Structure 1
Amino acid sequence: MALHMKKSIRTPITIILIVVVLGIILFPKIKPMLISESGSKIVTPTGAKGPRGSGQPLLASGYVIVPTEMNELIYSTGSLIPDEEVELSFEASGKVVGIFFKEGARVKKGELLAKINDRPLQAQLLKLQAQRKLSEEREFRQRQLLDRDAISRESYDQVATELQSLDADIMLLVARISETELRAPFDGVVGLRLVSEGAYATTQTKIVQLVKISPLKIEFSIPERYAGEVTPGYPITFVIDGIQKSFTAEVYAVAPKVDVDTRTIVARAYYPNKNEELKPGRFASVRALLSKIDNTISVPTEAIIPEMEGEKVFIIKNGKAQEVKVTLGLRTESHVQIQKGLSFGDTLLTTAILQLRQGIPVQLDTLVTNKSIVNKQQ
């Protein structure tokens, strides 16, 4: 009987413990419901923004619209290349018997630079010239006889043909002798010589490099969408690392096709380089001005809100947000031209864009102005 009484007492205690544990677990979840039903208010922590419609102003940054200069530029990289460049070689093979240039010196077009042995050819030329003299005298006598009808026309024609054949042989030999001479094909500066006197040179042997560095060419690439804007005669500027000034050049040619790998088109410009201060092969940072707009309206890109019907922005007027439909123009990396919708002096809202609504109170925390915007395209 005592055992039965102990079991009767233990059962109510177990139930009470279970109820207490369940209460501890569920109380945090039902507490908000109890507070809401009792009519209590939820208090926003100090410093936090109130919910929309509470009357508390929304903090946002403002951008005062002033007349702006917008420049659309293409920034590219390029290289300086010579106007003309060639590696000179002989047109014939033979022993080098003379080198007549000084390394790094300036030479004129047609100037003799080097020569290979031509003595056998000169000897053949003397022989042919002697034969021609005899053939010429024979032709003279035969012509006189033909005028008197002393010989047949056929006999005269044979002598005349021999003279013409000798003339052709002499011309061929003179051409072969000229192939033993290496002459400058244009005005320029010779580089370092690659052979010495006494060496045997073939038509594949490089003797010296000749370059023309006045003027210079600047080769650079532009995005394909600007292919129709950068045309011959277009001015560009470029800078060289280590030189504290910019240089001006003029485009003279644009490639006829777009590179399918880079989606760019190659252009070349001339720089006079009259003082020859720039050397071929150097790296150049190129800039081309596509368009320049004075006294226009430009706004930060982040202030633009795209919609199905177009784009809009928010301005602040009388302490409240006002929605304005806008028409966009030139785009830069950070700004957009506004062609219609805004006026100088308007204060554009640039932050809290997602929270802005027509007519809600707004308080400015910062105010920015900007007068010069440049578009940089790589």
Structure 2
Amino acid sequence: MKLVVRFVLALLLLGVIFGGIFGYQFYSMMQAGGPPGGQPPVNVMATEVSEQDWQGVRNAVGSLTAVDRVSISTEVAGTIEQLAFDSGDTVSAGDVLVILDDEVDQAQLDGLRAEAELARIEFERAEELRPRQAISQSEFDESRARLDSAIAAVQTQEARTRQKTIRAPFDGVLGLRRVSVGQFLAPGSDIVELRQLDPLFVDFTLPERFLPDISVGQALRIEVSAYPDTTFNAEISAIEPGISEQTRSVSIRGTVDNANGQLRSGMFARVAVQDPSSRQVLAIPETAISFNTYGDFAFRINETDEGLVTERVQLQTGERRNGLVEVVDGLAAGDQIVAAGLLRVRPGQSVTIDEENASNLDPAEVTEQ
């Protein structure tokens, strides 16, 4: 009997304790202004759905390519006597890069010039004797042929000697040298790479359905990872006349100014093809949208008799640009929505708007809270 009494008293004590706890929570909720079972209003940042003028754009990825690129080599064999450049030098067309030992060639050239001089003297003597019939016509012709042959031999040797001096074929920037003074070079040996970096080409592709929307001279915007906060202007300079049978895409080449030397050939580039036309779109910040496999949605803020209340709205979205998302369907211009912090908001929840921060809000710079 005593055991039963003790058990009943313990149950009563537990009931008093838990009743006090739940009673305090109910009292606190009522003091905060919320109804029984409800939640207090959540302070949120809000923004309005705005109508913006967006210029049409086609996005692609591509690579920067040097306008001219060549591996400097030698046409004739020889030993390097002098290197007239350093790795990374900027050179102009015609600048001397490498001089090969040409002592033997110069000696041969001197001998050929002497032979040519002798042939010239003999021909001049033949010209004097021919009018007096002192030599035959065939002897005169042979004298002239020997002179022409000697002159041709001199010109050939001069050209061969000039090949021992290797010059830059165009303006550009040199790469890393691959040779040293005293090294013997066989014909075709690589010496250094030369690239023209101003301007640069940007090569990319677009699906064939966009072919009617592109033309030579059309503006491009280029972005590279090395300079994330910089946009480079370019324009389309050539369009491949055929379509790739493997990818069904068209190859496009643009030209980008690189006077400041920031860009390098081989860089990965994000390309935006600017369309001359523009269109009106409804745009909201990316952080105002919940993207998931069940569809995209946002929280619209409605004004009711009980205050500001959220409504979950299913969206059909379109293009994304600079932190903004195009709203195709689901919202109207002027609708007020929760700009950030969607994890703290539920459908039908009372909210208050952070007016102090909302006045300085840039929708494209809002971050999730």
Do the aligned residues in 1 keep the contact of 2:233 with 2:257 (CA within 8 Å)?
Answer: no
Q: CA deviation at 1:112?
A: 1.3
Task: Find the aligned partners of 2:178 and 2:119 in 1 and give their Cα distance.
Answer: 45
Say yes or no: does 1:280 pair with 2:262. no
Shift, 1:279, TM fit: 1.8
Which residue does the alignment assign to 2:223? 239
Taking the aligned partners of 2:50 and 2:219, their CA distance within structure 1 comes to: 30
Alignment of 1:191-230 (within 5 A): 191-230=175-214
1:196-247, Cα deviation, whole Å (9 max, x unpaired)? 1111111231100111111111111111111232221111101122421211
Q: Which of residues 248, 256, 268 is equivalent to 1:271?
A: 256
> What 5-or-longer segments of structure 1 have no aligned partner?
1-63, 299-330, 338-343, 348-364, 366-371, 373-378
The 1:279/1:178 distance shift into structure 2, 3 A limit, reads same
Indicate if the aligned counterparts of 1:90 and 1:181 stay in contact, CA closer than 8 A.
Answer: no
CA distance in 2 between partners of 1:96 and 1:102 (Å): 15
TM-score (norm 2): 0.61
1:160 aligns with 2:144: yes
Deviation of 1:276 (Å): 1.1
CA distance in 1, matches of 2:137, 2:196: 57
Alpha-carbon distance in structure 2 between the residues aligned to 1:118 and 1:66: 75
Q: CA deviation at 1:179?
A: 2.1
Instruction: Tell me, yes or no, if the aligned pair for 1:69 and 1:292 is still in contact at 8 Å.
Output: no
Checking the alignment, whether the CA contact within 8 Å between 1:75 and 1:287 is kept in structure 2 is yes
The reply to whether residue 260 of structure 1 matches residue 245 of structure 2 is: yes
Alpha-carbon displacement from aligned partner over 1:255-307 (angstroms, at most 9, x marks no partner): 12222222221111111211112222211111012353345899xxxxxxxxx
Q: Deviations over 1:293-328 (max 9, x none)?
A: 345899xxxxxxxxxxxxxxxxxxxxxxxxxxxxxx
Task: Check whether the contact 2:281–2:327 (CA below 8 A) recurs between aligned residues.
Answer: no
Counterpart residue number, 1:310? none
Structure 2: unaligned runs, 5 residues or longer: 1-47, 284-317, 321-325, 336-348, 350-362, 364-369
What is the SS of the residue equivalent to 2:270?
Answer: strand
The residue type equivalent to 1:275 in the other structure is N
Q: How many residue pairs are counted as aligned between the two chains?
A: 249
1:23-58 deviation per Cα after TM superposition (whole angstroms, max 9, x unaligned): xxxxxxxxxxxxxxxxxxxxxxxxxxxxxxxxxxxx
1:100-140 CA-to-partner distances (Å, cap 9, x unmatched) read: 11221111111111122222221111111001111111111
Whichever residue aligns with residue 274 of structure 1, its letter is A
Q: How does 1:311-322 map to 2 (within 5 A)?
A: none
1:180 matched to which residue of 2? 164
Q: In the alignment, does 2:71 pair up with 1:74?
A: no
State the 1:254 CA deviation. 1.2
**Structure 1 position 148, deviation (Å):** 2.7
The answer as to whether partners of 1:84 and 1:211 remain within 8 angstroms in 2 is: yes
Indicate the residue corresponding to 1:352 in structure 2. Answer: none
Q: Which amino acid aligns with 2:147?
A: L
User: Helix, strand or coil: the match of 2:143?
Assistant: helix
Kept in 1: contact 2:222–2:270 (CA 8 A): yes
Please tell me whether Structure 1 or Structure 2 has the larger radius of gyration of its CA atoms: 1
Structure-to-structure mapping, 1:25-40, within 5 angstroms: none
Amino acid at match of 1:167: I
Contact preservation (8 Å) 1:113, 1:182: yes
Report the equivalent of 1:305: none
SS at structure 1 position matched to 2:198: strand
Where does residue 9 of structure 2 map in the other structure?
none
CA RMSD of aligned residues (A): 2.9
AA matched with 1:259: S
1:72 and 1:332 in contact (8 A); partners too: no
The answer to whether the Cα contact below 8 Å between 2:55 and 2:274 also exists between their aligned partners in 1 is yes
TM-aligned CA deviation for residue 66 of structure 1: 8.6
Cα distance in 1, alignment partners of residues 200 and 226 from structure 2: 18
CA contact (8 A) 2:282 2:327 kept: no
State the 1:95 CA deviation: 1.5
**How many percent identity over aligned positions?**
29
Contact 1:116 1:180 in 2 (8 A): yes
Q: 1:296/1:238 Cα in 2 relative to 1: closer, same or farther (>3 Å)?
A: closer
Distance 1:179 1:231 in 2: 44
TM-score w.r.t. the length of structure 1 is: 0.60
- Partner SS state of residue 228, structure 1: helix
Alignment of 1:360-375 (within 5 A): none
Partner of 1:132: 116
* SS of equivalent residue, structure 2 residue 68: strand
